[in-house]
Chains A and B, each alone.
Chain A
Amino acid sequence: MARITSLSEAIAGAVHDGDTVALEGFTHLIPHAACHEIIRQGRKDLTLVRMTPDLVYDQMIGMGCVKKLVFSWGGNPGVGSLHRFRDAIENGWPHKLEIEEHSHAAMANAYEAGASGLPCAIFRGYIGGDLPKVNAKIKRVTCPFTGEELAAIPSHRPDVAVIHAQRADRAGNVMIEGVLGVQKEAVLASKRSVVTVEEIVDELPERSLNAVVLPHWTVGHVVEVPGGAFPSYAQGYYPRNNSFYKAWDDIAKDRDSFHAWMKTNVLDKGPDAFAQYARKHEAAAE
């Protein structure tokens, strides 16, 4: 049942050391403010699940929050490497990182199976490549009707899903528009959830009859954090800050400059710091 809270209450209540956590958002609506709060609260030994680790997991890995990563594409889109992710895998810094690697199709299917209450996902995939050789969770099953061999992996059932959305109403019904990714599936697959939103409104706006809405009784903490997806974007609010994604390459390349950036922009700040990004872009758009 939805509860409207502060971000620090939401993370303290929902995300515990050792949890399996899925911060989702496919390029769009990536929950950066919630990521920063998890880092500020010093969570440890997390198993992080996410299709595209992106800057959020680069930051959490570099800050030592992560024991294991379950993922399918670990790069900075259109820019290059995630340097903290690479440093952890290649050099074990700040400590060794276990990985469980999948394809996008497998991850998307595993979230959908989790949301559907199924133990595993079945799909046509992982044919001929080496991923099944390095990931023991990738198995084959035979269709009982046609004899076709298909791929099977366990469904994702995270302890907590963390997403960002455009709006919630005061009851905590959450509306998502634009590139949807796997956010709905991630929330429905998880035991608990934290949803940050651009704004909490009295009534959800006029919408298509088939709008994507998570009913209040399917979500946990709902928190208003304007700008909370920056430098990712919120369709209808502010665009993706591509120049920040490019700048991150230099910031994260070096361990010291990474730490300096995290101290100034995360450890010494609070969720209010994100509002300026939302406002700046609103102003720029006018």
Chain B
Amino acid sequence: MADYKPTEMMTIAAARLLKNDDICFVGIGQPSAACNLARLTHAPDITLIYESGTLATKPTVLPLSIGDGELCDTALTTVSVPEMFRYWLQGGRIKVGFLGGAQIDKFANLNTTVVGPYDKPKVRLPGGGGAPEIATSCGEIFIIMAQGKRSFVEKLDFVTSIGHVSGGDSRAKLGVKTKGPTKLITDLAVFAPDPQTKEMTVISIHPGVTREQVQENTGWAVKFAAKVDVTPAPTAKELDVLRELHARTNRAHAAA
């Protein structure tokens, strides 16, 4: 088994969830790495859409920002931002949306707005961007986040975008027809919502990680599914493609 970093396992586990016929709304950072890894390995025809308006883009290096020229150069077409949010996202044409955040709770609600009170924040974070509507308009949501007690919290300081709200049927009761977060991929494990309670529950633990480690890095009492798998370790090919993608990206960003 090859040596790899926990963040590489996280990106690779997320990439494997994507299918060749998916239409995917991609955020910068980890989601972009996972989506392009999928495209460069098992899902060559996946449609990647960035909120800057680039439809079906095939970047050779990862964008630093959501609207880098690389995305436009390699896209099938580029639409305006109002069209992106109205026709494509709100219109229900996107199957999978990726999100991350500074804080997550056990129902996969996310905070990317503030740490501390809104009017007198301890840390002012960037804010919601596309997330509030991505969270409700995409067919389903995958969340990628490294685990830690400060980010996996019992109660969010601010709800920027909803997951399963307060669990059970609370999301549907708000009139939202999409599935919400169906997977949470971390550097330690993969979570999925319990069918009834909708609490994010561990279904797979990455190789060499213990249940105790998952708990130590979570601010609530973690639930484990009846059957918990071991996530298959990254293959040599997955690692090669991911590392080459990052190396290409670093070279390109240093040169610009």
Which residues in A have some Cβ–Cβ distance to B below 8 Å? 26-28, 51-52, 71-75, 77-79, 81-82, 85-86, 89-90, 101-105, 108-109, 111-112, 123-131, 134, 148-149, 178-182, 184-185, 233, 235, 239-243, 245-246
- Other A-B contacts than A73-B130, A75-B126, A104-B130, 12 sampled, CB-CB below 8 A, are A51-B81, A78-B64, A101-B128, A103-B131, A123-B85, A123-B90, A125-B136, A127-B175, A128-B174, A178-B78, A179-B67, A235-B69
User: In the complex where A79-B64, A130-B160, A148-B175 touch, is A101 in contact with B127 (Cβ < 8 A)?
Assistant: yes
Contacts of B69 in A (CB 8 A): 28, 178-179, 233, 235, 239-240
Contacts of A81 in B (CB 8 A): 126
Q: What are 23 residue pairs bridging A and B, where the CB atoms are less than 8 Å apart in the complex?
A: A27-B65, A73-B128, A75-B125, A78-B28, A78-B64, A90-B122, A90-B123, A103-B132, A104-B130, A104-B133, A105-B85, A105-B130, A108-B81, A108-B84, A112-B82, A128-B174, A130-B158, A134-B118, A180-B79, A181-B52, A184-B80, A233-B69, A243-B254
Cβ B256 vs Cβ A243 within 8 A: yes
Contacts of A184 in B (CB 8 A): 80
Instruction: Encode B105-142 as 1/0 by CB contact (under 8 A) with A.
Output: 00000000100001001111111111111011100000
- Which residues of chain B (160-177) have a CB below 8 Å from chain A? 160-162, 165, 171, 174-176
Cβ A124 vs Cβ B137 within 8 A: yes
Shortest Cβ gap from B176 to chain A (Å)? 6
Interface flag for B232 (CB, 8 Å): no
Cα A102 to Cα B176 in complex, Å, equals 20
User: In the complex where A73-B129, A79-B64, A178-B78 touch, is A127 in contact with B174 (Cβ < 8 A)?
Assistant: yes
Cβ B72 vs Cβ A109 within 8 A: no
Cβ A125 vs Cβ B165 within 8 A: no
Contacts of A239 in B (CB 8 A): 69, 256
Cβ A127 vs Cβ B129 within 8 A: no
Instruction: Encode B74-108 as 1/0 by CB contact (under 8 A) with A.
Output: 00001111101110011000000000000000000
Q: Is the interface of B mostly helix, strand, loop or mixed?
A: loop
Interface flag for B26 (CB, 8 Å): no
Cα A235 to Cα B159 in complex, Å, equals 37
Cβ A128 vs Cβ B159 within 8 A: yes
Cβ A179 vs Cβ B78 within 8 A: yes
Cβ A240 vs Cβ B52 within 8 A: no
Contacts of B126 in A (CB 8 A): 73-75, 81-82
Cα A182 to Cα B86 in complex, Å, equals 13
Interface flag for B63 (CB, 8 Å): yes
Cβ B130 vs Cβ A103 within 8 A: yes
Chain B, Cβ-Cβ closest to A241: B256
Instruction: Encode B218-229 as 1/0 by CB contact (under 8 A) with A.
Output: 000000000000
Cβ B161 vs Cβ A129 within 8 A: yes
Chain B, Cβ-Cβ closest to A110: B82
Shortest Cβ gap from B177 to chain A (Å)? 10
Cα A241 to Cα B255 in complex, Å, equals 9
Interface flag for B43 (CB, 8 Å): no
Shortest Cβ gap from B152 to chain A (Å)? 19
Contacts of A78 in B (CB 8 A): 28-29, 63-65
Contacts of A71 in B (CB 8 A): 127
Chain B, Cβ-Cβ closest to A77: B65
Contacts of A74 in B (CB 8 A): 124, 126-127
Contacts of B238 in A (CB 8 A): none
Interface flag for B54 (CB, 8 Å): yes
